[in-house]
A and B are shown apart, each in its own frame.
Chain A
Amino acid sequence: MALSAQQISRWLNSSKLSSFMTALQLRRRFQRPGTTLSCGVFAQPHVSSEGCFLQWGFRTYRTSSLWNSSKSADLSRQEINCAQSTLLPSVNEPSQRTPKIPSLDSELSLEGLDDVPPLSPLQPISDNEAVQIIAGPPLPPSSVTLRDYVDHSETLRKLVLLGVDLSKIEKHPDAANLLLRLDFERDIKQMLLFLKDLGIEDTQLGPLLTKNYAIFSEDLENLKTRVAYLQSKNFSKVDIAQMVRNAPFLLSFSVERLDNRLGFFQKELELSVKKTRDLVIRLPRLLTGSLEPVKENMKVFRLELGFQQNEIQHMITKIPKMLTANKRKLTETFDYVHNVMCVPHRVVVRSPQVFNTRLFKVKERHLFLAYLGRAQYDPTKPNYISLDKLVSVPDGIFCEAMAKASVRDFEKFLKTL
Chain B
Amino acid sequence: MAAPIGSTIFGGGTIQHFRPSSAVQRTEAARASGMGSAGLARLQGLFAVYKPPGLKWKHLRDTVELQLLKGLNAGKPPAPQQRVRFLLGPVEGSEEKELTLTATRVPSLIDHPLVRGLAFTSLKVGVGHRLDSQASGVLVLGVGHGRGLLTDMYNAHLTKNYTVRGVLGKATDDFCEDGRLVEKTTYGFLTSPGKLLQPPGLDQVYCQRSHQLTIDHVTREKLNRILAVIQGSHQKALVTYSNLDLQTQEAYEMAVSGVIRPMNKSPMLITGIRCLQFAPPEFLLEVQCMHETQKQLRRLVHEIGLELKSTAVCTQVRRTRDGFFTLDDALLRTQWDLPSIQDAIQAAAPRVAAELKKSLRPWLGTQEPPGPGQPWDSERPRSALGPESHVGH
Contacts and interface: CB of A to CB of B under 8 A. Distances in A.
A417 B101 contact: no
Nearest to A167: B117
Given A4-B10, A415-B50, A151 B108 contact: yes
Contact of A132 (B52, B88, B90, B112): B88
Interface stretch (B28-36, B327-335, B360-368): B327-335
Contacts of B92: 47
Nearest to B101: A131
B218 interface: no
A160 B333 CA distance: 37
Contacts of A164: 114
Contacts, number: 105
Interface string A341-365: 0000000000000000000100110
Contact of B88 (A54, A131, A163, A363): A131
Given A165-B114, A167-B117, A96 B332 contact: no
B52 A54 contact: no
A interface, how many residues as a size bin?
35 or more
B109 A157 contact: yes
A54 B101 CA distance: 15
B101 A5 contact: yes
Nearest to B102: A47
B88 A50 contact: no
Contact of B8 (A5, A96, A128, A146): A5
A414 interface: yes
Contact of A94 (B54, B88, B102, B334): B88
B116 A411 contact: no
B160 to A, nearest CB: 16
- Most B Cβ at <10 Å: residue of A53, A56, A160: A53
Interface string B98-128: 0111101011111010111110000000000
B89 A160 contact: no
Interface string A136-167: 10000000001100110000110010011111
A134 B88 contact: yes
B136 interface: yes
Contacts of B334: 395
A151 B108 CA distance: 6
A50 B115 contact: no
Nearest to B117: A167
A147 B88 contact: no
B99 A50 contact: no
Given A2-B10, A160-B109, A417-B136, A45 B89 contact: yes
B197 interface: no
Contacts of A150: 109-110, 112, 115
A341 to B, nearest CB: 16
B99 A132 contact: yes
Interface residues of B, number: 43
B376 interface: no
Contacts of A54: 106-107
Interface in B112-154: 112, 114-118, 136
Nearest to A47: B89
B106 A415 contact: no
Nearest to B108: A151
A147 B110 contact: yes
A359 to B, nearest CB: 8
B112 A160 contact: yes
Given A160-B114, A160-B115, A50 B109 contact: no
B278 interface: no
Interface in A1-41: 1-5
B331 to A, nearest CB: 10
Interface in B31-63: 50, 52-55
B86 interface: yes
Given A131-B99, A414-B332, A415-B332, A50 B2 contact: yes
B4 interface: yes
A414 B136 CA distance: 10
B115 A96 contact: no
B11 interface: yes
A395 B4 CA distance: 56
A46 B88 CA distance: 9
Contact of A417 (B53, B106, B330): B53
A151 B117 CA distance: 16
Contacts of B114: 160, 163-167, 206
Interface in A89-111: 94, 96
Nearest to A2: B86
A320 B333 CA distance: 28
Contacts of A56: 87
Contacts of A5: 8, 10, 100-101
Contacts of B104: 50, 53
Nearest to B50: A415
Interface string B260-288: 00000000000000000000000000000
Contact of A50 (B83, B101, B106, B108): B106
A206 B112 CA distance: 14
Interface string A164-199: 111110000000000000000000000000000000
B88 A166 contact: no
B3 interface: yes
B1 interface: yes
Nearest to B136: A417
Given A132-B99, A360-B54, A146 B115 contact: yes
A395 B333 CA distance: 12
Interface string A37-73: 0000000011100100110110000000000000000
Contact of B116 (A50, A147, A416): A147
Contacts of A134: 86, 88, 101
A416 B52 CA distance: 9
A411 B332 contact: yes
Interface of A: 1-5, 45-47, 50, 53-54, 56-57, 94, 96, 128, 131-132, 134, 136, 146-147, 150-151, 156-157, 160, 163-168, 206, 360, 363-364, 395, 411, 414-417
Given A47-B90, A165-B117, 14 more contacts: A2-B11, A2-B86, A45-B88, A47-B87, A47-B89, A57-B87, A131-B99, A134-B88, A136-B85, A151-B109, A166-B115, A167-B117, A364-B52, A415-B50
Which 10 pairs of residues, A with B, have the shortest CB-CB distance? A47-B89, A167-B117, A4-B10, A50-B2, A150-B109, A166-B115, A2-B86, A165-B114, A94-B88, A150-B115
11 contacts: A2-B86, A5-B8, A5-B100, A47-B102, A54-B107, A131-B99, A160-B109, A160-B112, A166-B114, A167-B114, A417-B136
